[in-house]
Chains A and B, each alone.
Chain A
Amino acid sequence: MSEIDLDLAWDLHPQVSVRPEPFGALLYHFGTRKLSFLKDRRLLEVVQSLKDAPSARAACTAVGVPASDLARYSAALATLVRSSMVVERTS
């Protein structure tokens, strides 16, 4: 999976802690004990918006990701899904 389904609803894994940093953010998963990082602030905003957005696409749009950049953000989210930092929201 190199991109996620942008029309599904996603969220951060409940055991993931997010720490904003000047370069983006650090993510730590207490379940897998893995550290990850976000290399830009907008990606951080996207990730933080997932929870309340009906879809990942809506989360991207809400924080001003231009349509031409959607594929790039989708790929970044896919990386986070692979490491279980971001999971599909079922409720």
Chain B
Amino acid sequence: MTVVTTTRRAAEPGARLVDLFEYGLDAPICLTWELTYACNLACTHCLSSSGRRDPRELSTAEAKAVIDELEAMQVFYVNIGGGEPTVRPDFWELLDYATAHHVGVKFSTNGVRITPEAARRLAGDDYVDVQISLDGATADVNDAVRGAGSYDTALRAMRNLADAGMKNFKLSVVCTRHNIPQMDAFKEIADTYGAQLRLTRLRPSGRGADVWDELHPLPEQQRELYDWLVAHGETVLTGDSFFHLSAYGQALPGLNLCGAGRVVCLIDPVGDVYACPFAIHEEFLAGNVRSPGGFAGVWRESELFRGLREPQTGGACSSCSFYDTCRGGCMAAKFFTGLPLDGPDPECVRGHGEALLADRPEDRAGMPKPSADHSREAARRPVPIRIGRRPDPERPPVSACAEDPLAGLRIRSAAHSKETL
């Protein structure tokens, strides 16, 4: 250890956890790993613009190699998501492999594969936790965002888990303008199934960028949410995602720190490593697990990550008396709404973000777009093709997906041999 130790603050007695973590850790505490871009749903706010599988997704062997690395780095657990991770044919195999290698798993699912049998299997494993996604306490609010039938799918999955005796799994809700008034109802649903409620913030990432303006909570709803969170304390989980609300007063439970590249990161289905799950963009791409140094190499050596571990200046926020509690908010939320990274969060509770948002062009021209779009809608867009003479008339073109080892091989006598058959 050379560079890292010089920038790392010595552990002074009474030092706050947040101060120690600001300089990053040799390994993440946990990380998000999206196993596939394939999804049976097409949620309007999908962070990863999922829908279609990517042909370059990590193979079973490559995924296991990543788990081996995580075990060696003593990463406590991975948050597995997607896409819908359970549609990967090797999902259960990878789950078992991770827990056998001391890497705990929490996975997010829309519930489509949580059959009574799957629920029994999950209930019997102490090292696996499940998060069922539901974005409305009623079918109309949920299905407007997550698609027709998704409310029933999620509730059936929860019933299966509860019937199997699974305790304390998570009911995971992305907070929107339409479900903020339903917080008590969500809590009731969670209590009914013996689940714990987990609320997270709507990010303008992936397809979320297209609906953020209409879906993100209104300023007065942010206050309502904050008061609700304070009243419910540690009984409700937040994935530390509302630290920008801490500027209302009392800090919310959690680290209240942007952990991007410091204590968390994202591995996407093709092995790309990003600073956080909400930042799938070249700007936040640190490397790929397929590179020679593997995931550990990316985590430890990436220049992007090293930069994120430097002390951050508050920029335009540094003179704000609330900077110490909100720390400028969410980097990804600023980035995808086109705001400067060293300025206020778009949902800054002091109202500093609103003025900047109002300056955005009406047509949102110039806003950063995510690096990858696997939406099924995207597939229906026109595909540019080239028309021309075959460079070699005797040699048929080879599809990029051709797996035959003889693909593209030119056999002169092919026509003759066909006649002899």
Contacts and interface: CB of A to CB of B under 8 A. Distances in A.
Interface of A: 15, 17, 19, 21-24, 26, 28, 30-31, 33, 35, 37, 39-41
A30 B25 contact: no
Contact of A26 (B11, B15, B29, B126): B29
Contact of A15 (B29, B74, B126): B126
B97 interface: no
A28 B77 contact: yes
A28 B20 contact: no
The interface size bin for chain B is 20 to 34
Interface of B is mostly: loop
A9 to B, nearest CB: 25
A22 B8 contact: yes
A26 B30 CA distance: 12
B102 interface: yes
Nearest to A35: B29
A23 B11 contact: yes
Contact of A30 (B14, B15, B74, B104): B104
A39 B26 CA distance: 16
A31 B129 CA distance: 10
A22 B8 CA distance: 9
Given A23-B20, A39-B15, A33 B74 contact: no
Contact of B76 (A19, A31, A41): A19
Nearest to A34: B234
A19 B129 CA distance: 21
Interface of B: 5, 8, 10-11, 13-15, 17, 20, 25-27, 29, 74, 76-77, 102, 104, 106, 126-127, 129
24 contacts: A15-B126, A17-B74, A17-B102, A21-B25, A22-B8, A22-B11, A23-B8, A23-B15, A26-B25, A26-B29, A26-B76, A28-B76, A28-B77, A28-B104, A30-B126, A31-B126, A33-B77, A33-B106, A33-B129, A35-B29, A35-B76, A39-B14, A40-B13, A41-B11
A75 to B, nearest CB: 13
A30 B8 contact: no
A38 B285 CA distance: 32
Q: Which 7 A-B pairs have the closest CB atoms?
A: A23-B11, A28-B76, A19-B74, A23-B20, A30-B104, A30-B127, A39-B11
Given A21-B25, A30-B104, A31-B126, A39 B76 contact: no
B155 to A, nearest CB: 23
B53 to A, nearest CB: 30
Given A26-B76, A30-B126, A39-B15, 4 more contacts: A19-B76, A23-B8, A39-B13, A40-B11
A41 B10 CA distance: 11
